[in-house]
Chains A and B, each alone.
Chain A
Amino acid sequence: MESQSVSSLIEVLNLTKKFNDFTAVDDISFNVNKGEIFGFLGPNGAGKSTTIKMLITLLEPTKGKALIDGYDIVNESSKVRETIGYVSQMISVDGTLTAYENLMLMARLYDIAPKTERIKRINETLSFLNLEKHANSLVRTFSGGMIRKMEVGQAMLHRPKVLFLDEPTTGLDPVAQQSVWEHLFALRDTMNTTIFFSTHNMEEADKVSDRIAIINEGKIVIIGTPEEIKAKTGKPNASLEDAFIFFTGNKFQDKSNFREIRRNRKTEQRLG
């Protein structure tokens, strides 16, 4: 699988992250193709967030390497940062600024120039997200779905080749979830944006992903299309949830800590 295919946007090779004695990510390798919607699944503490943090340059790997559009995540981190967009699991849009100001801040931090181009892209983004009417409202008055869309908007202004989304629909009601995904599909269809997302929601992953990787105890246990993964359980009519349990073992292994849980619940509460 290590053949350097030209259509790969993300190439991960023997990526490893250790915290003292604990191996959070254990020698993983995989590729993600251009324009692919790639679901990254795993129980809490399996190494999902650690992997994403390494890919988005927030954390340096202990061993191995990863390339995003050919750029090395360690040695060419600033190139990588220009290539990617990131939507955090938490609420990363600033409630004390208006929608327009939030977008303008990102447009300026990403050096979108000149000013006329910034304004053009912000207006395009607002209309793409159906938020034009709320351009000058403070974001803290927004609903959960609007907040998530704003975050997608902030992350896509500079037209990244890949968008990383950490649990993008956690805490959203089904209607808002669908609306967020419709926008992500549109982004993929119009700009061939690669979408790399993590989720706990198996139904969602099954529905939207071209391919899925399941990570457990720091290792990728299976990778393939949802159909392939379900078929490999050997059970007829297995759901992705069945497959998830099959491949991660059904023992209880929730390794998330107090801080993460508190943070997740808070995010859910604020979005809901």
Chain B
Amino acid sequence: MFHNISQTIKKSYILAEVEVRKLLHDPTELISRAVQPILWLGIFGEALSKVRAIPTPGLTYLQFIAPGILTQSVVFVAIFYGLYIIMDRDTGILQKMLVTPTPRIALVWGRMLSAGVRGLSQALIIFIFSLVLGIHLNITFLSIIGVILIVLLGAGFFTGLSMIIASIVKTRERFMGIGQVITLPLFFASNAIYPISIMPAWLQVIATVNPLSYMVDGLRTLMLSNSFSGVGIDIGILVVVTLIVSIISARMYPKVVI
């Protein structure tokens, strides 16, 4: 599967670039996607920070949830990416792609990267909106690089997961159902909007194995503290889980055409 790594990377880039072109032909999607994170930060975040119900030592509540909301908007983009392979199957684009000599894993990475690009556009919006709300973020060259890396990896993992689900369920309707069912639990069973320490023990276990928590943790360290402690572990875990779903989904999704 990795027999020609430079070829694979080149093809992934080509496929992602086409997605970006499509986005530029019709950027309305970017604007409509910006609404949700703005509501979470501007309304939910503002309201809860008045209540002071959630302990966030050393941080304001808005600071605490900004990385969580960024994670959420990236994950919500990525988790529906499997829908595209079902749609592409129904229109014949998928079959045509599979008949080209493109390595299977490049077709997966192309999707992951394009979800990542959409995720980065969300990150930009959230950074700008945070500045508007007066949320203090740590913005340095290295922290920005780290944020970009984590957004790409997180988008990649959830895109891969989504493609695996799509290859199993095979129809749009079932996929939409499952997508709805898993997104909110993934989000709530994580450290996105409250610390893991206030959760009941059973939920702590789930939150600890939830890759979303590592994404939030890495982003929170990079965006709020002037350190990189633990970021290496967060990135390492995301790299491993993303590689695992890449391999599984490259094997599984060509079967969606049957």
Q: Which residues of A contact B (CB under 8 A)?
A: 53, 56-59, 78, 81-82, 84-86, 88-94, 96-97, 101, 105-106, 108-111, 138, 154-155, 259, 263, 266
Specify the main secondary structure of chain A where it touches its partner. mixed
Known: A57-B98, A81-B100, A155-B96. 6 other contacts (CB 8 A): A53-B257, A58-B95, A81-B101, A96-B22, A109-B100, A266-B90
A106 touches B25 (CB 8 A): no
Residues of A within 8 A of B97 (CB): 109
Q: Which of B15, B96, B258: most chain A CB closer than 10 A?
A: B96
Q: Which residues of B (4-34) have their CB < 8 Å from a CB of A? A: 11, 14-15, 18, 21-22, 25-26
Given contacts A88-B95, A88-B96, A101-B18, contact A96 B25 (CB under 8 A): yes
Q: What's the least CB distance linking A136 to chain B, in Å?
A: 11
Residues of A within 8 A of B18 (CB): 94, 97, 101, 105
Give per-residue flags for B92-135: 1 if the beta carbon is below 8 A from chain A beta carbons, else 0: 11011111111000000000000000000000000000000000
Range class of the B interface residue count: 20 to 34
B254 CB–A CB distance under 8 Å: yes
Q: List 6 A-B contacts (CB under 8 A).
A: A56-B99, A58-B95, A59-B258, A91-B91, A94-B18, A109-B100
Given contacts A53-B257, A97-B25, contact A92 B95 (CB under 8 A): yes
A97 touches B98 (CB 8 A): no
Residues of A within 8 A of B91 (CB): 90-92
Q: What's the least CB distance linking A171 to chain B, in Å?
A: 13
Q: Which residues of B (167-205) have their CB < 8 Å from a CB of A? A: 171
B90 touches A57 (CB 8 A): no
B101 touches A92 (CB 8 A): no
Q: What's the least CB distance linking B112 to chain A, in Å?
A: 17
Q: What's the least CB distance linking A187 to chain B, in Å?
A: 17
Given contacts A96-B25, A96-B26, contact A110 B100 (CB under 8 A): yes
CB-CB nearest in chain B for A84: B99
Specify the main secondary structure of chain B where it touches its partner. helix
Residues of A within 8 A of B26 (CB): 96
Given contacts A53-B257, A96-B26, contact A81 B99 (CB under 8 A): yes
Q: Which of A88, A93, A101: most chain B CB closer than 10 A?
A: A88
Instruction: Give the complex CA separation of A109 and B97 in angstroms.
Output: 9
Instruction: Give the complex CA separation of A110 and B91 in angstroms.
Output: 21
Residues of B within 8 A of A106 (CB): 100
A58 touches B254 (CB 8 A): yes
B11 touches A109 (CB 8 A): yes
Instruction: Give the complex CA separation of A160 and B49 in angstroms.
Output: 63
Q: What's the least CB distance linking A120 to chain B, in Å?
A: 19
Residues of A within 8 A of B99 (CB): 56-58, 81, 84-86
A92 touches B254 (CB 8 A): no
Residues of A within 8 A of B93 (CB): 92-94
Q: What's the least CB distance linking B26 to chain A, in Å?
A: 7
B14 touches A105 (CB 8 A): yes
Instruction: Specify which of B25, B92, B171 is in contact with A92 (CB 8 Å cutoff).
Output: B92
Instruction: Give the complex CA separation of A82 and B11 in angstroms.
Output: 15
Q: Which residues of B (58-97) have their CB < 8 Å from a CB of A? A: 90-93, 95-97
CB-CB nearest in chain A for B13: A108
Instruction: Give the complex CA separation of A97 and B22 in angstroms.
Output: 6
Residues of A within 8 A of B25 (CB): 96-97, 138
Q: Which of A57, A105, A109, A263: most chain B CB closer than 10 A?
A: A109
Instruction: Give the complex CA separation of A266 and B172 in angstroms.
Output: 15
